[in-house]
Amino acid sequence: MNFISIVYGLFLLSVLGIYWTFPQQKLRWWTLLIASLVFYGSLQIQFVPLLLALTFINFRLGLEIGKNTSPGEHNLDGRISNEEWQFAQVEWDQRRLKLLWLGVILNILLLLGFKYLHHVLNFAVNLPSDSTNTTFKLIAPLGISFFTFECISYLIDVYRGAPASEQFLKFATYKLFFAKLISGPITRYHHIANQFNTLQSLTTDRVAEGLWLIARGAVKKGILADHLGVFVDLCFGNLPRAGSVDLWLATFAYGLQLYLDFNGYVDMARGSAMLFGLVLPENFDFPYFSTSIADFWRRWHITLGDWLRNYVYFPLGGSRRGLTNTCGNLFIVMLIAGIWHGSAWGFIVWGLFHGLALSVHRITDAISDRFEPIDNFWQNPLGIVVAWFLTQTMVFTSWIWFRLPNFKDSSLVFQRFWGHTADVQFGQKVYAEALNMSQYQLASMLVALAALMAVTYFFNGRLKIQFNWPIKLVFVPLCLYAVWLLAPEGSLPYIYFDF
């Protein structure tokens, strides 16, 4: 069941009708849970029992970790002394820590098993990891990366003192909620649980906002991202024939495709959730207008960045132990981000490259703090433009490892970025026959799309100007009709479904 389909529209309307018919909270949870299982089952029914089992295991671990840590009412009747109570408390805390590690290790092994086990088995029979004739091929459940990270964050939050869920139905509804299950955004349990407890009736402006998010996300994915994807697939799928200009255009197009594809999905997920009275967290804040790599990671995949900061970077010590340790922590964090995204070596290199960029940014900041002229340069308009250009050049070129995680292919792109002429047939097949436009026209369209994003950033991101709800309702059917009319045949799969 694809988000951009008539089937999903009918599914969403049916579930909404049943959901808001029930006044009881538990019946609404049951509605969402059953609907989520049906939604996931339409994509990978074989993994539904596994997700249910893992949800129950993490629920039980959360209960055990969150149990009352005070062994006995010693202060009421004096049955045990303060000293005995303190020993018992230490013992209980050690037990809670062991349970936490058990849960974290279980979830990590699950994630690494699905992502890396087939590489280990293929290596055992002497097949290269990037071989197309692999003996073992393990299909991972959709959304397993998001699923495991949410489980880990829940267990750690409970260990840190947040209340554990006492209702499996409520916890399972949160974990398996179809709007966020496959590609996020990564959402903490207590963020959703609080909304479950204070659920309010829908208002006109909330309905309009939810429908607008769905329609806007459909345009981003169905029209913009998928059309960009056609060119990206043609270019990166014919690397030996592509020229330097073609590769630069494909690199820029893929960066836009990745953003519009993922951001479009999140818009539709947030819009769907809003119609059920739930607010999922923002996941993007105009990342391609950031002027430093640190700022980029505060704007790109925000929930993943928050997860890495709260559950990896800060526990490692953050930036409290000097510049050297800070840079080391950044490398570790981004290495984990690379491993989380995929099992090919390209994702590892991508993570380390971003770790290097974050470390260079930290060092540059430290130098700028000591030399006022350098600090002033980064504050003036020229310095801001230079910072933006360097940041986005680094970001867009690093996406090559995302699109081509095979070293042979990604290395060929970097080697041919300069001074390489395209095959004559490449231009004829790609531009004239497949795209029906020239290379210059394609470049102009990419610049126009970037300009449109800049205008949106200025009015929405800077001036905070948005349409009111009547205008949004007018645009909803227009956007959906445009997607039905203009989207390429056979829509491309969501990119982040692979992660």
List the Cα angle 496/357/329 in 5-degree steps.
85
What pLDDT is stored for residue 417 in this prediction? 92
Cα atoms in the Cβ-side hemisphere of radius 13 Å centred on 28: 19
Q: Provide the annotated active-site residues.
A: 341
Q: Could you give the CA distance from residue 483 to residue 291 in angstroms, rounded to a whole number? A: 33
Residue 23, φ and ψ in degrees, nearest 5 = -85, -25
Amino acid letter, 166: E
Sign of dihedral through CA atoms 293, 295, 299, 302? positive
Residue 147 in contact with residue 51, Cβ under 8 Å? yes
Q: Could you give the CA distance from residue 443 to residue 437 in angstroms, rounded to a whole number? A: 10
What is the secondary structure of 399-447 as a DSSP string?
HHHHH--SHHHHHHHHHTSSS-PPPHHHHIIIIIIII-S-HHHHHHHHH
pLDDT (tens place) for every residue of the chain, 499 residues total: 888 889 999 999 999 999 999 999 999 999 999 999 999 999 999 999 999 999 999 999 999 999 865 555 444 455 666 676 666 777 778 889 999 999 999 999 998 888 877 666 666 665 554 444 555 566 788 889 999 999 999 999 999 989 999 999 999 999 999 999 999 899 999 999 999 988 878 889 999 999 999 999 999 999 999 999 999 999 999 898 999 999 999 999 999 999 999 999 999 999 999 999 999 999 999 999 999 999 999 999 999 999 999 999 999 998 888 899 999 999 999 999 999 988 788 999 999 999 999 999 999 999 998 888 888 989 999 999 999 999 999 999 999 999 999 889 999 999 999 988 888 888 888 888 888 898 999 999 999 999 999 999 988 877 778 888 889 999 999 999 999 999 887 778 888 877 6
CA distances from 289 to 30, 53, 221, 453 (A): 42, 42, 20, 9
Q: Could you give the CA distance from residue 284 to residue 457 in angstroms, rounded to a whole number? A: 12
What pLDDT is stored for residue 419 in this prediction? 87
What pLDDT is stored for residue 275 in this prediction? 96
What pLDDT is stored for residue 259 in this prediction? 96
Amino acid letter, 405: P
Closest CA to 228 of 425, 450, 4: 450
Residue 194 CB contacts under 8 Å (≥ 6 apart), including other chains: none
Q: Which residue has the tokens 């799928």?
A: 237
Residue 4 in contact with residue 483, Cβ under 8 Å? yes
Amino acid letter, 327: C
Residue 66 in contact with residue 163, Cβ under 8 Å? yes
